[in-house]
Structure 1
Amino acid sequence: MEDQLAYLIASVNRQLEEELAEKLRPEGVPIEQMRILSALERNDGLAMGDLAAQVLVDSTTLTKIIDRMVTALLVYRAPDPHDRRKVIIFLSPQGRSLIGRLQGIASEQQEKIMSRLKGGKADELKRLLRDLMQA
């Protein structure tokens, strides 16, 4: 099984997520919330479906996470001005401040990964993984 690509990719993903979760623990932020804050920082005002796709969480789970984040004053909901059936999620000032602090943690992990993959291997791995995602 250790030679199967899917197993290797899943194992690396689990390791990286555990490392990141450990770094985020003092901030009290789960990985999913960090991904949501990051996605909203890049493109504030996302519909729930678009946000779910970007952060790799199903819609039902995302709704529960967003409920907690609204209660924590990290994000807020507003109706879509073009389609009242849709809800748009925005970063609050507190959420914007928090993601500013969390970006350093994510950058630190990125640098650690890059240092493990020297000589252009990181760029090659990114390309290979993107190719797999498009297949």
Structure 2
Amino acid sequence: MESPDSGRNPSKYICYKLSRVMRKVHRYYESKFSQYGITPSQFYVLTAVWEKDGVKFKDLAKSLDMDGSTLTSILDRMERLDLLERRNDPEDRRSLLVFLKEKAKLEIADITDLAETMDEEIKARFSDSDFSAFEKVLDQLFQD
């Protein structure tokens, strides 16, 4: 007979498993990115701005699936690190544009190479077919 608490173990829930894995991956990325003085969230912002330098704040927040206040605090820290700058949009005074500064432009290739290496290290733990299935599941979860 099962104990009344047997169904309450958090490890049986998908959200718990995903959370544990994400914390582990996040800590791994944090430790590697620390040599550049950035966090994983700052890395996401850097790569998004690198893709479209001068991106509107609102569009950046949407592309990263971040609320405005979270993105504002990340940008504040990144401006203090001399990686980014915000400028008023000359076409719309209510909008801000986000630009990479020279320091970020000089480091972005090394930072993205590091991210690629970390991704490859994680992928190496799986067969090609398992990783392909894993990515498919992640994409499906993201789309829903």
TM-score by length of 1: 0.88
Corresponding residue number in structure 2 for 1:60: 69
Q: Deviations over 1:106-130 (max 9, x none)?
A: 1111001111111321121111111
Aligned residues: 135
**Structure possessing the higher radius of gyration over alpha carbons:** 2
2:40 is the alignment partner of 1:31: yes
Percent sequence identity is 28
5 Å-filtered alignment, 1:49-128, equals 49-128=58-137
How far residue 23 of structure 1 moved from its aligned partner, in angstroms, is: 0.8
Unpaired stretches in structure 2, ≥5 consecutive residues:
1-9
Letter of the aligned partner of 2:123 in structure 1? M
How far residue 56 of structure 1 moved from its aligned partner, in angstroms, is: 4.3
Contact 1:45 1:88 in 2 (8 A): yes
TM-score by length of 2: 0.83
Q: Deviations over 1:52-103 (max 9, x none)?
A: 2333433112212212222322111122243220101011121112222211
Contact 1:77 1:87 in 2 (8 A): yes
Moved over 6 A (4+): none
Unpaired stretches in structure 1, ≥5 consecutive residues:
none
Give the aligned CA root-mean-square deviation in angstroms.
1.6
Structure 2: distance between partners of 1:123 and 1:83: 43
